A and B are shown apart, each in its own frame.
Chain A
Amino acid sequence: MNKKISLLMLILFMVCSLFFVQNKTAHSDESVNKADKELSSRFITIPEDIKTIDRAPVKFPHDKHTKALDKDEEGCELCHLKGIDNILDFTYPRKKADATREAFTNSFHNECIGCHTEKNNEDIKTGPLTCGECHVIDDDFHNNDYLPIMPEYYEPLRDTYHKNCISCHQDPAKKAEDAGGLDWKSFYVKKREFIEAEIPAVNFDYFLHDKHEKALDEKCEKCHALSEEKKSELEKLGKEPVCRDWLQELPEDKSYKIKEYAHSVCINCHLDKKDKNEDGGPVYCKECHLAEKRTADDMLEVKRIECEQDEKILIKLEKDMRMKEVAFNHQSHQKVTLSCQECHHDTIQACSVCHTLEGSDKGDNITLAESYHSVSSSWACIGCHENEKKKSDCAGCHNLLDTGLLESACETCHNGVIEDLDKKNPHPALEKLFTDDIKKEMEIDIIQDEYELSKFPHDKIVAKLVEISDNSTLASYFHTDNMTLCAGCHHLTPLTAKSSVPQCRTCHTVRKEPTEATPALLGAYHQQCLGCHIQMGGTEEEMPQDCAGCHEEKK
């Protein structure tokens, strides 16, 4: 009997210890993974004509390599070719051949495995040597199988129209009428350029530009490659060279992509400074490819880039102008953007250079009118303003109002008077707004059987709206009338009837008719009040979203 019990104990102990060991290994694995993730890694891009490879794509940890080579004091040259003038060429592999599938594969295998083998033979700690160690099928691979490849400056928050690709691009192409019959898989995974989320694009914002300007003593030519020909061309015209369009001046002998060119310019300069023991810029991926972007509020104090043009201009056509010109304040728009690229795409030029009146291939066949008025594009004036209205400060009112191009709004922009830009529309003091016949606080009593009266602080709400509107340049320009703010809640009436406003229950009846389109009083109150509270997302005390926050329950 005793023997049996001791045997049982032994087995129990063994099982327990097994669990313990397993748990321990699992934990250590996690920590390794975490450390790996902090080092930025990205999938190696496969050329389009090769399409797929036999094994899982390789996720390449660049910073891990940089750090390891830094330790061994073997700089970047081990992997990247050093060309003439000691300029590093940041392409990999050094002898890249993507003409055929085999050549492409070999060019990577030769250099990666070659180096790893060499180091291994010298008994130095090095990377993997077998296939499966590089071609890993892990969670990331599965998760990001159909990661969309978006344009370079794509931002899901701004470009709301493109947020839900699948809603139009169905699988497999549903019908021709749905999204032009596009099959979303071919649309999504065409290139598999892989996980930009790991390494987000560098946003060269005003802050970075200002920092570089100061560090480089305002020597623009260090970054902006200005060819001699163009310089002399400008000199003939008697103009100082202006540092713009540096991306247009790509070296002609190399078929660089923008990304490669940027790496070549930035990192070479940073490395150069580092060699000279000067204060240079970052070398590791994640130091430039920041996960979080600076906001316009972070850069309030940062000097904006000087432009050739006036602060305020009238946007007009050279011929055939039918509407009045649009007064435009360039400086105030610079204040609220992160970089010039937010409006100007890759090149700093006037919109009409690419977006011609009739549309041209250069401007993706988007006409000039569209480029200003498109509701769905954040590049366009209207589209961008539309997105501003979705921000929490504005969405409270604007969420229930009609969106898009309103007929009544044409004249607000097309007024042809440049002086109007200075004309802000501050609201009068509250004491003047609240004349005798407007109540400061009201009581709403429509659901008295279940809840207590709800007290409605009319004056506080107006004060908050006035504060928001007056603090925003955009809002104070477009909220032209004193009554505009009132229209956020008292829709339709205050703009037309300039006197006092009818009661809600004049239109929104208490009794709910079965097929009535207008919300009943209960619905109207809740949609207006609660809808605004949710959109503005304030604190529970300030903007209650719970039932009891507005009307206490009856006991």
Chain B
Amino acid sequence: MSNSRRTFLKKITGAGSLLFFGNKKSAQANIPKVSPDQFGVLVDTTRCVGCRKCEEACNTINEDLPRKSVSVFKDKDVFKERRRMDFGTYTVVNKYKSANVSDKPVFAKFQCMHCLYPACVSACIVGAFTRDKDGAITYDSWKCIGCRYCLAACPFQVPAYEFSNILTPQVRKCTFCFDTRLVKGQIPACVQACPMEVMKFGKRTDLIKDAHENIKKNPGRYIPHVYGEKEVGGTSWMYLSNIPFNRIDFPKLGYHPVPGYTEPIQHAIFKWLLPPLGVYAALGGIWFFLSSKKKKVKKDEENGSS
């Protein structure tokens, strides 16, 4: 029942937006073009040994995060359960079973994917999130009003909210080391710290080429898919794996940018503020019509009675 109601509403809003302002094509033109020179990181999960040096480096470089001692990151017991990022961590490494029981376990590092068409930026109503032309998606805590729309919008469920802080809570997610390192011409701290060079920093277009070459050159070593090359329109962080990506907790997503679904409708409805004005105008008209009718009836009544 609710489903049919939802589809009905969808159709109505969709048709409405189409009726009012143009078709999807013109709406899609709103999505900015991505620079081919933007940076990215290619993560080869087959190399990762789960040493957690990236987590350590991340905690060291990001001084806003709660401080943790070095010994915390030497604890291998954390792999017993699947972890997610929270407001105190920008990145986590998880351990997964491999395809065959006899094979070695698979480790995968996870952090913000820094989408090319970020849903968090699109969802943020105050513009606290911005996408840099080099690929990093950064957050401005001064603008944030704490609505947490970004948490709901993210297809990878990355942003975390500082629920424990009552007065000045922030949304936290990986910064791509934008302020701390990228602007100085340095590569992200986790990439630098990794002893196995699991991650490779470079121009995104080069990395994609590299990834496909790697797959081709080593038959059987990887699954022939570069996760993040096309998912949700492409992400700056991309992954290679030897087991299916859904087994290392990467959701199966479409190739269409997430904001591409919502923005055409939103932008169409609120373009030039005309539709809201139109609605108010219509309501005002009805009100005026009804009130004038009422007056007439009253007048008639008065005339009749007198």
Chain A residues with a Cβ under 8 A of chain B:
156-157, 160-161, 163-164, 166-168, 375-376, 386, 402-404, 512, 514-515, 517, 519-520, 522-523, 526-527, 530-531, 534, 537, 545, 547
Contact = CB atoms under 8 A, between A and B. Distances in A.
A403 B196 contact: no
> Chain A interface secondary structure, helix, strand, loop or mixed?
loop
28 contacts: A156-B99, A156-B100, A157-B100, A157-B102, A163-B99, A164-B99, A164-B223, A164-B243, A167-B244, A168-B224, A375-B219, A376-B219, A402-B217, A402-B218, A403-B217, A514-B185, A514-B187, A515-B201, A515-B206, A522-B195, A523-B195, A526-B195, A526-B197, A527-B47, A530-B49, A530-B195, A537-B104, A545-B49
B1 to A, nearest CB: 27
B51 interface: yes
B220 to A, nearest CB: 5
Contact of A523 (B187, B194, B219): B194
A350 B221 CA distance: 31
A382 to B, nearest CB: 11
A527 B217 contact: no
A545 B244 CA distance: 25
Nearest to A537: B104
B202 A514 contact: yes
B148 interface: no
Nearest to A522: B195
Interface in B238-293: 243-244
B196 A527 contact: yes
Nearest to B202: A515
B225 interface: yes
Interface in B183-208: 185-187, 192, 194-197, 201-203, 206
B220 A376 contact: yes
Contacts of B99: 156, 163-164
Nearest to B50: A545
B281 to A, nearest CB: 47
A530 B218 CA distance: 20
Interface in B28-83: 47, 49, 51, 74
Contacts of B225: 167
A161 B50 CA distance: 26
Contacts of A523: 194-197
Contacts of B223: 164, 167
Contacts of A520: 197
Nearest to B210: A517
B218 A403 contact: yes
Nearest to A517: B210
Contacts of A527: 47, 196-197
B187 A403 contact: no
Contacts of A157: 100, 102
Nearest to B217: A402
B59 to A, nearest CB: 15
Q: What 3 A-B pairs have minimum CB-CB distances, sorted nearest first?
A: A523-B197, A526-B195, A167-B223
Contact of B197 (A167, A386, A402, A519): A519
Contact of B220 (A161, A512, A515, A526): A161
Nearest to A548: B74
Interface string B95-108: 00001101010000
Given A403-B218, A404-B217, 16 more contacts: A157-B102, A163-B100, A166-B244, A167-B223, A167-B225, A402-B217, A404-B218, A514-B186, A514-B187, A515-B201, A517-B210, A519-B197, A523-B194, A523-B197, A530-B195, A531-B47
A515 B203 contact: yes
Contacts of A386: 220
A534 B49 contact: yes
B220 A403 contact: yes
A409 to B, nearest CB: 15
A526 B47 CA distance: 10
A530 B197 CA distance: 12
A404 B219 contact: yes
A255 B46 CA distance: 49
Contacts of A161: 219-220
A527 B220 CA distance: 19
Contacts of A164: 99, 223, 243-244
Nearest to B196: A526
B203 A403 contact: no
